[in-house]
Amino acid sequence: MTDFKELIANAIYDESLGLNCDEIKALIEIPADETMGDYAFPCFRLAKTLRKAPQMIAQDIADRIGGTEGFAKVENVNAYVNFFIDRAYFAGQVVEEVNEKGPEYGRSDIGEGRKVIVEYSSPNIAKPFHIGHIRSTVIGNALYKLYDAVGYDVTRINHLGDYGTQFGKMIVAYRKWGSEEELAQDPIKSLLAYYTKFHEEAKEHPELEDEARETFVRLEAGEAEEVELWKKFRELSLAEFSRVYDMLGISFDSYAGESFYSDKMPRFIDELQDRGLLVESQGARIVDLEMYDLGAAMITKSDGSSLYVTRDIAAAVYRKEHYDFYKCIYVVASQQNLHFRQWKKVLELMGYEWEKDCVHVPFGLVSLADGDDIKMMSTREGRVVFLEDVLNTAVQKTAEIMREKETEGVDIDEVSKEVGIGAVIFQELSNNRIKDYVFSWDKVLNFDGETGPYVQYTHARASSVLRKAEAGGTDINSLGDIDPGYLESDSAYALVKLLYRVPEVVVEAAEKYEPSILTRHLVDIAQSFNKFYHDEHILTDNEDEKRAKLALVKASRTVIANCLGLLGIRAPERM
């Protein structure tokens, strides 16, 4: 497809200007005011070279390249050369390209031959998979899809929180108050109950804490009984998490979590020691980062057991050696900013210069509409909103809404899953990720707002137009040769422009680790499509006009489905 900036740059290029095509291209702007054209080239920089007033330069350029193909009008306004795209030419190109590429439209090969790791979700086992986890899970999955779409070879890692002193507590609690039947019946809720009880009891009996610490040391030393219990907790937890991942349509290439690194740490403790980075502090060993304003990173505790940051050091080096990544992306809440800054600093001090390729992608908090802060839903006190319950509620509520609408031919059981879960995912990806946001059912499930259901509904609407056309005898699989002169209206043009920008939006969303850039663009496309749908009579008697418009409908449907796919959301044909 024509790269219009390049077309302009080539047309403007002239030896006398003293700029090469890339330099010209970089100067081209998109005017905020559409009456100033689709693209504009400012001539200020040329004034010095050419020893002429910028206005005159602009006028000369405009005169020289007046009739360039692809442009309806080229004119100068003050020091700018303004370019108006030939709408029919443009629409013809975009529609043809999208319909030819189909599911591939929006994808590129920028990252070819390079490996990216996206680490996301990473819940702690034996603890509830609650609504607070949805962010890492869903943002991470979208980033995986975006990096995959721009051509990288992506590995998805679930860095399970399956190690650490809490397992000492869990084992002690289970031995004291647990039962096998209970555990089998409802593993995480039972483990949560034992864990909660542990904290209550420990207030009265602080010696429980010591017992837990000793138990963890035995676990870390590989004592059979402790390892056995730990394994059981891990398996039962994974089975529960998998249920949620299946609902969300999410999978991983590796579940190598914290425990995977338990035997890989001595090497790093030696390395730290050799580099003179370890300091004794009350029996524990730390790396002093005070001079970087980062406090202290604790590497081993006084009882010798390892810590979160130590395991993250081992994990990073393992990944570098094992995958030789170009980039390793960590999708983890902004509450852990300090941890990640400390960890990067320690890696840097250890001489691993590739630490600069490790990127922490933080995000803000979710809270519930009634003011019940998710962070307040402390696991210790046992007050939690399970993610699985949220997803099930979304599906149920969606089914109710759909029953009221009574759309013909819709399999409500199936579609309410796609829409309900899609709605929750879409909401997650709508806001700038770093912002805290409030979860509210009204917002999530609004079929008319800037929501998942709205976009999916638009997809279903486009599908329905195409079905009708087919029923009327139009072959929607042969819309290749159309007369784009029928796609010159303002609403068609606005829509075409948005479809055209999708590949660059995908790249930008990936590079900025910000799926919401794509989500917002997708809402714009849906709104623009609906405006086109209302403004225009699509299934007209004029065969050529109908085919041209249907080609645009088909292209829009493809783009909406592709973008939803990149966000991890299904695109139902009917709803």
Q: How far is the CB of 339 from ligand ARG (least distance, A)?
A: 7
CB nearer to ligand ARG: give 21 or 294. 294
Task: State yes or no: is 537 an active-site residue.
Answer: no
Cα angle for residues 323, 328, 334 (degrees, 5° grid) = 150
Q: How far is the CB of 282 from ligand ARG (least distance, A)?
A: 25
- Give the bridge partners for 331, in sequence order: 361
Identify the active-site residue in 130, 327, 417, 554: 130
Q: How far is the CB of 572 from ligand ARG (least distance, A)?
A: 33
- SS3 readout for 254-272: ECCCHHHHCCCCHHHHHHH
- Please give the residue ranges that form the binding site for ligand ARG (CB under 6 A): 119, 122-124, 159, 161, 312, 330, 332
CB nearer to ligand ARG: give 30 or 434. 434
Question: What type of residue is 27?
Answer: L
Task: State yes or no: is 322 an active-site residue.
Answer: no
CB nearer to ligand ARG: give 332 or 423. 332
Q: How far is the CB of 123 from ligand ARG (least distance, A)?
A: 6
Structural tokens at position 469: 């056309």
H or E stretch at 278: strand 278-281
Identify the active-site residue in 5, 25, 127, 327: 127
Number of Cβ within a 10 Å radius of residue 375: 12
Coil, strand or helix at 301: coil
**Cα 212 vs. chain centroid, distance in angstroms?**
38
Q: How far is the CB of 468 from ligand ARG (least distance, A)?
A: 49
CA distance 396 to 390: 10
Q: How far is the CB of 555 from ligand ARG (least distance, A)?
A: 40
Question: What type of residue is 386?
Answer: F
CA distance 395 to 402: 10
Identify the active-site residue in 133, 301, 360, 417: 133
CA distance 445 to 343: 40
Task: State yes or no: is 130 an active-site residue.
Answer: yes
445, 439 Cβ separation under 8 angstroms: no
H or E stretch at 42: strand 39-42
Q: Which residues contact 371 (CB under 8 A, 6 or more apart)?
A: none
CB nearer to ligand ARG: give 381 or 400. 381
Q: Which residue is nearest to ligand ARG (CB)?
A: 161
Main-chain dihedrals φ then ψ at residue 85, nearest 5 degrees: -65, 145
Q: How far is the CB of 553 from ligand ARG (least distance, A)?
A: 44
Burial class (CB within 10 angstroms; exposed 0-12, middle 13-18, buried 19+) of 573: middle
Q: Which residues contact 327 (CB under 8 A, 6 or more apart)?
A: 114, 116, 117, 152, 357, 358, 359
Question: Which residues have a catalytic role annotated?
Answer: 127, 130, 133
